[in-house]
Structure 1
């Protein structure tokens, strides 16, 4: 592992830098991640505005942020599978399909959370 001997605040700074590199890489290379980020831009203020209580705001925001988080994991799994080999393999396909399903479940969670909070307000 890189920088194993780094301790304290320097380790935190290195970790932050690597995280920013990962976000930048995913944003540049993954269309789905870019789409999700662009959707977050209007939805985050909307979540803060539509949530009546701090708990509602936390659920609306949290459900939004889970989607790109799972997309990052999906992209990492896909990159790792592609690094191992580009030929078709049942296990590679299964890993990618399962990671994609996790993204779908996170989007479903977001939609259901928003619906459960917002639909009763308008009925």
Structure 2
């Protein structure tokens, strides 16, 4: 049975395998990608800080969406980089552009995440200090 035929199969076993593959991807980026390690470390610090200042449920929800977005984009960036490396062993300007654009998406979302974080933590931080 080929790879394509396996992908068409359905059922609980295939569902479980899809989770295994997803966790293998997560393990790969956590182990091999420095930027993912940084994103995860900062995210854990922000979560601890959120617990300290007792964020409201709405602020937690927004925070989790933003953290999840940064982490997911970093994973997509890694996937794009690996695919480009696979299909283009020599340097090609379009390959470089694809990698740069993917990295830029992470950068833009990360900058937005910082702004959202400032907005989320500003008021609770003022109350926590006083």
TM-score by length of 1: 0.86
Q: Is 41-50 or 80-89 further displaced after alignment?
A: 41-50
Match of 2:49 among 42, 46, 50: 46
Q: Give how far 1:2 is off.
A: 6.3
Comparing both chains, which one has the higher relative contact order based on Cα–Cα distances under 8 Å and sequence gaps of 6 or more? Answer: 2
Structure 2 regions of 5+ residues with no counterpart?
none
Match of 1:104 among 104, 107, 115: 107
Q: Give how far 1:49 is off.
A: 4.2
- 1:58 paired residue number: 61
- 2:87 pairs with 1:84: yes
Match of 2:78 among 75, 81, 91: 75
Displaced runs of 4+ in structure 1, greater than 6 A?
none
Query: RMSD between aligned alpha carbons?
Result: 2.0
Q: Give how far 1:51 is off.
A: 5.3
* Deviation by residue 1:39-58 (Cα, 9 ceiling, x = unmatched): 22222232344353211111
Q: Size of the alignment, in residue pairs?
A: 123
TM-score by length of 2: 0.82
| Rg comparison, structure with higher value | 2
